[in-house]
Structure 1
Amino acid sequence: MVDWDLAVSTAATLTGGGPRVSVTEAADVVLELRRLTDVAEQHVANYTGLSARVDHPPVQVVDRTDWVRTNVEGLQVVMDPVIEKLQAASPPKPTAFGPVGTAVKVVGQKATGVQVGTILGFFSSKVLGQYEVFSGAPGRLLLVAPNVVEIERKLGVDPTDFRLWVCLHEVTHRTQFTAVPWLRDHFLSEVSAFVDATDLDPEALADRVRNGISALADSVRNPDSKASVLDLVQTPAQRAVVDRLTALMTLVEGHAEFVMDGVGPDVVPTVESIRARFNQRRAARNPLDKLVRRLLGIEVKMRQYAEGRKFVAEVVERVGMGGFNLIWTSPETLPRPGEIADPDAWVARVVGPTVSPN
């Protein structure tokens, strides 16, 4: 269904190589990002009270195309079960036009490969780092060196401070998924639940596509619309899973945002300036870029950063970091969708009324 090799080559063509750097500069960036990842790990452990319970592979400092390849590997892990379901639900029928059917299949694979590559190409020039969990346990920490250099130059910030700031965020994600032994399996089980909830009925799928296209068209006309490409595929059962996944991702993203700023000016002396300029750049994107981000659901992720950080900050203020860390006890202690906007409800349910801040 997807020509994955074409997806990678399409993304590589669209994304470009990034900012100009000499061979020596590039090597220095890679070495410093690796060093700062180790520095960040200890700061994150001290600040959060969490430490990895497993040995994790070293950070991978990658370029944009390598980031695409890694994510294609992860997408294949997610998509293979969906493809198997589709093939089981719609087995090929014998026809006198067998060669034509094969040609149509190949064209479809190519078209989908280009579409996937276009989306990955867009992301590959934006993302600074990622903790990739799909390809194998315990996961892989990726830092996209060209994007880090490009953004630090555009912001005009201290390179070492900015690189450490980025490392703090991504290392927090690695810490979450390696210090909390059940978190990765829980996340993957929710993704599997989303796949299992896929409705393969052709008429139902056609209705969702029509409704999704209408929603996307409305989003183009109406800047306040919140429609995204996800609206094309979600069944009611999938929306329930998405609500839970959104709450989980809002927590982990907000926790990382809270940590990267909370570690403090003693570690990242220019952190306040970096945060202010970074947020200003986020808000100043051109209208076309904002539209693309909304259609791809990236604006939802941006809201997750803000809403999750507010949730974490308010819980820590009420019950301290020790009380907050009860959130990692089990899937039942994760915030429910409605509790992200109501930290007191989570505190009352999980921590109880007798715990005081540390």
Structure 2
Amino acid sequence: MGLYRSVRAVSEASGSGPIDWEAVAEASKAGTDSGTLDISTAEREGYATDVRDARDRVRSVSGIDFDLPDRVQIINRHHWIDNNIETFRRVMTPLEDQVGMFPSAARVINSGSMTVALSFLARNVLGQYDPLLLADGDGADDHALYFVYPNIAHVADSLAADDDRFRRWIAFHEVTHAAEFGAAPWLSDHLESRMEDAVEKLAAGDIDREMLGELDTTMTAVEGYAELLMDRAFDEEYQDLREEIERRRQGRGPVQTLIRRVLGLNMKRRQYERGKDFFDAVADARDIEFAGKVWERPENLPTDAEIDAPEQWIRRMAE
């Protein structure tokens, strides 16, 4: 029944834009089990404690004074879809007039593609620090922190990992991203402007490879610095968890592997690896405080060439 409702919602996509977002929301949730939110009071307190501990540890290790969202949200998969569909919609706004020669058919195809993407991500995302890029800034919280409880519980069980330890690992990782955006108040605007420019060029039928490359390099720095903080701040060894996650990723079937490739998740994995190697080299050659210079201003971001040659970035920052 869920699959039928999902297909029907997409097939009935309507409106004037290239994507019927209401149909995408309905279809994504119809085709995705929401998962349980049957969580004990002790577990909820555990999340809050882990986030507070992560904030204190990351502040201590990095020297960055940053704030967290007022509320830590423990959500199910449908909540995640609702929270993120608005982000996708904001990013895709410049494409609203680009439906094509056969608008009804194109709208169904586009809506179906977005449904597949959101459904896949909703089943796989564990935690998320959301800087709410391109949001209106109407006085609401300007960032958010989500934990997708059914996904965390499922993965911890599939890895035979200790639930509390696995939850704490996810909490620390997401808090490191909060530290980055706290250290660099300009980072949200920097990413927003690059995203808007790239999508507007795409809407005009042009692929700005230079802009996309710059975005990739920036996200490589974001992911790499988060890994550096994780390694220094997490209060116990976690290499076994990282290895288990990697084995789980490699064990995916061909359909999941294809979807990950289409969504660019393999590129995200490369961002982790390149960024981690870069910041490990910088911290080893100097220290973690020197590595934090990356967030002082946009000009301090490493270039793509410097990511693979961190000594060049070190020399530039030391000048």
Tell me which structure has the larger Cα radius of gyration: 1
Seen in structure 2, the aligned counterparts of structure 1 residues 198 and 286 have a Cα distance that, compared at 3 Å, is closer
Kept in 1, the 8 Å contact 2:228–2:276? The answer is yes
Q: List gaps (5 residues or longer) in structure 2.
A: 1-16
User: Where do residues 1-358 of structure 1 align in structure 2 (5 Å cutoff)?
Assistant: 1=17, 2-18=19-35, 23=38, 25=39, 28-52=42-66, 56-83=69-96, 86=98, 105=103, 108-132=106-130, 133-134=132-133, 135=135, 138-198=142-202, 200=204, 205=205, 235=207, 238-264=208-234, 267-268=235-236, 270-352=237-319
The residue type equivalent to 1:255 in the other structure is Y
Shift in Å, 1:57: 3.1
Shift in Å, 1:55: 6.6
SS state at 2:34 partner: coil
The residue type equivalent to 2:229 in the other structure is V
The residue type equivalent to 1:262 in the other structure is R
Per-residue CA deviation, residues 34-90 of structure 1 (Å, 9 max, x unaligned), is 3321221111111221121x6733222211111111111111211223325x48xx9
Deviates more, 1:253-262 or 1:320-329: 253-262
Per-residue CA deviation, residues 78-114 of structure 1 (Å, 9 max, x unaligned), is 1223325x48xx9xxxxxxxxxx9xx64554344322
Matched with 1:225 is none
Aligned residue pairs: how many? 296
Seen in structure 2, the aligned counterparts of structure 1 residues 291 and 108 have a Cα distance that, compared at 3 Å, is closer
2 CA distance for matches of 1:105 and 1:272?
50
Shift in Å, 1:28: 4.5
TM-score, length-normalised on structure 2?
0.85
The residue type equivalent to 1:34 in the other structure is A
The residue type equivalent to 2:21 in the other structure is W
Shift in Å, 1:348: 1.2
Q: List gaps (5 residues or longer) in structure 1.
A: 91-100, 206-233, 353-358
SS state at 1:143 partner: strand
Shift in Å, 1:254: 1.5
Matched with 1:219 is none
2 CA distance for matches of 1:314 and 1:281?
28
Seen in structure 2, the aligned counterparts of structure 1 residues 22 and 318 have a Cα distance that, compared at 3 Å, is closer
Seen in structure 2, the aligned counterparts of structure 1 residues 66 and 278 have a Cα distance that, compared at 3 Å, is same
1 CA distance for matches of 2:252 and 2:217?
26
Deviates more, 1:60-69 or 1:253-262: 253-262
TM-score, length-normalised on structure 1?
0.76
